[in-house]
Amino acid sequence: MTSSEKNRNHRLSASLLIKGGHLIDPAVRIDAPMDVLLKHGRVAEVAVPGKIKGGADEKFDARGLVVAPGFIDLHVHLREPGQAYKETIATGTAAAAAGGFTTVCTMPNTAPVVDSVEWIEWLREPERGAVVNVFSIAAATRASKGAILSDFRALQAAGAIAVTDDGKPILDDGIMREALVLGGELNFPVVQHAEDTRMTENCSMHAGARSFRLGLRGMTAAAEASIVERDVQLATQIPNARLHVAHLSTADALKSVRRGKRAKARVTFEVTPHHFTLTDEDMRDYDSNFKMNPPLRSASDREAILVALADGSVDAIATDHAPHAAHEKEMEFERAAFGITGLETALALALSRLHREKRIPLTRVVELFTAGPARCFDLRGRGSLARDAIADVTIFDPKKKWTFEARQSLSKSRNTPFDGWQMTGKVIATIVGGKIVYPG
């Protein structure tokens, strides 16, 4: 149980009945009008409308709305410890709740790097002010220096759900092999930010016609694909190894992952809303809100990712929410920090791009936010609203039109390429452990 749950249980209203909504729960193949009763932090009953007997302490009128399992984001940067000027657990999870996420997995590339049990415990303290569930992904190597593995056993026992050196990919074949071997023994996923940094020095966007025109050194697709290919091969050879490829962005890397899945290797991967929405051609006038790593790729890379989202290959949508202070972004493009925020725009982008434009069924879109990510990291009791599941629920209106304004974001930072975008599809309520946390 996470700290936010413990925190909430004592002030929990005993029961909440969500009435009149359309339940989409891909894990148990429900896509129908259903009422949902939450009791003591769990799902007590799911039944056709009007069939749930007995009163509830609170009722939520979900007529015209979609009721889904609470969304899970496998990849966020909450910036604590050490970088509270960019984001805190409190502000980052408030933004998560506004975006419909009831669970977020926070990355260890903080100051200091989260590579010890002490920091995992610190992150869980009630003082952090988390309003949604926060799981830690710990550093895979000490201080993420890529030389000596961190203590996987102790980190897992302390509650870490995976390990990674996000932002500093593990390049050394021997260390990656060791990580996958030990991770395999412990059933502990190793998450890789796949980038051969020896090939991307001084690069600030995707290598292509646009980077050439702008005079910016480009990251090639090969810099991502070569690492994914190596990792997938290792995962195929090593018994029980679990590899999770973070923010996959290129068609070539996708080929390697597909090969791994066909060979029955335990390989999962996530894609981000910005990679399925934008391409390298969208950046105008050196706007650093279009600078992230991996970079926005070519139209054909985006197309390959859209196909994989539709055909069921992609396991999860993850935001890679990466807040930065204004002064770290308002600078020369090549010197500006990599990363954009993403928690509050993910659902609307997925609904627009995937559901309405590409005709991907709503159940599949919901799966990518729920059952899919829950499977990647074995988040038991989450990702579904089956009886006895944890009472994390996301309620959204798939047709509601709204405008995203960066200055009204609940995140501490404003670095988004989607400022001012007309959106369709909005989160109406976010429920964590049976308690409505958004709107607050």
* Interface with other proteins (CB under 8 A): 201-202, 208-209, 212-217, 285-286, 327, 330-335
Q: Tell me how far, at minimum, the Cβ of 329 lies from other proteins, in Å.
A: 11
Cβ contact 260:248 at 8 Å: no
Find the catalytic residue in 35, 315, 320, 392. 320
Phi then psi dihedrals of residue 374, to 5 deg: -60, -40
Q: Is 43 helix (H, G, I), strand (E, B) or coil?
A: strand
Q: How far apart are CA 143 and CA 348, in angstroms?
A: 36
E strands, 108-235, are: 133-139, 162-164, 190-192, 205-206, 218-219
Q: Tell me how far, at minimum, the Cβ of 276 lies from other proteins, in Å.
A: 24
Comparison of 252 and 334: residue with beta carbon closer to other proteins? 334
Q: What residues are paired with 423 via a beta bridge?
A: 402
Comparison of 335 and 380: residue with beta carbon closer to other proteins? 335
Q: Tell me how far, at minimum, the Cβ of 410 lies from other proteins, in Å.
A: 27
**Residue 117 to residues 88, 120, 138, Cα–Cα distance (Å):** 20, 5, 9
Q: State how beta strands 205-206 and 242-245 pair.
A: unpaired
**Residue 13 to residues 16, 52, 298, 409, Cα–Cα distance (Å):** 7, 18, 50, 28
Cβ contact 189:377 at 8 Å: yes
Examine the residue annotation and report whether 320 is marked as an active-site residue of this protein: yes
Q: Tell me how far, at minimum, the Cβ of 211 lies from other proteins, in Å.
A: 9
Alpha helices in 112-220 (DSSP H): 117-124, 152-157, 173-186, 209-214
Q: What residues are paired with 402 via a beta bridge?
A: 423
Q: Tell me how far, at minimum, the Cβ of 397 lies from other proteins, in Å.
A: 36
The set of catalytic residues is 320
